[in-house]
Amino acid sequence: MAKQKEIALIFEDFMTRVLDFENMQKLGSQMLAGFQQDLDLFGRPPLHDTSNVVADLFARNPSVRATNYMEAGCRHSYMDKLVVSKLDTHFKKLHNHIMQVHENMLNLQSLVEKANNMMHEELSSMLEKANISEDAEIADSNDNSTEVVWLLYDSTLFLFELLI
């Protein structure tokens, strides 16, 4: 009975970590969207200086500032620095988030292995109690409980593998 409680606790911890994983996925999507938005802002095309409207605008205002702006490709260097700084921050946050997700996945994997080992031990002890040797054929036996136990074992393993 104690093993059943322990397996139930492992399953509860497993499901909690799966929910954490789903929340991490949502947060990761939001972080990636912010990174993509800033990347698009940085990679935006400059103004078309071949446009009549832009050419007329700069022709009417031939100041040094306007000339420098045209020579810089119609971009502000301080805005580019700001966007690159934001991209760096996004990248660091995404990297840390990936490390947290990886740690969560390792924890999930260890829980599955622990549950698998416990179930294997429990099944082995049940088979020993039933005095079934490895050479005996289960099909000849009138007791179908071992088949049910193996079926339960296989379906539980499938459930854990499906959730990962």
Say if CB 149 and CB 126 are below 8 A apart.
yes
Domain boundary assignment for the chain = 2-41+77-163
Does the pLDDT value for residue 136 go beyond 50? no
Confidence of residue 56 (pLDDT cuts 50, 70, 90): confident
25 membership: H or E segment, kind and range: helix 2-42
Q: Which residues of 56-75 are buried (b: 16+ CB within 10 A; e: fewer)?
A: eebeeeeeeeeeebeeeeee
The whole-number average pLDDT for the span 51-67 is 73
How confident is the model at residue 70, as a pLDDT? 66
Between 71 and 97, name the one with better pLDDT: 97
Say if CB 14 and CB 163 are below 8 A apart.
yes
Does the model's pTM come out above 0.85? no
How confident is the model at residue 94, as a pLDDT? 93
How confident is the model at residue 126, as a pLDDT? 75
Does the pLDDT value for residue 149 go beyond 50? no
The whole-number average pLDDT for the span 134-151 is 47
CA 10 from chain centre, in angstroms, equals: 21
R_g (Cα) of the chain, nearest Å? 31
Q: What are phi and psi of 89, to 5 degrees?
A: -65, -45
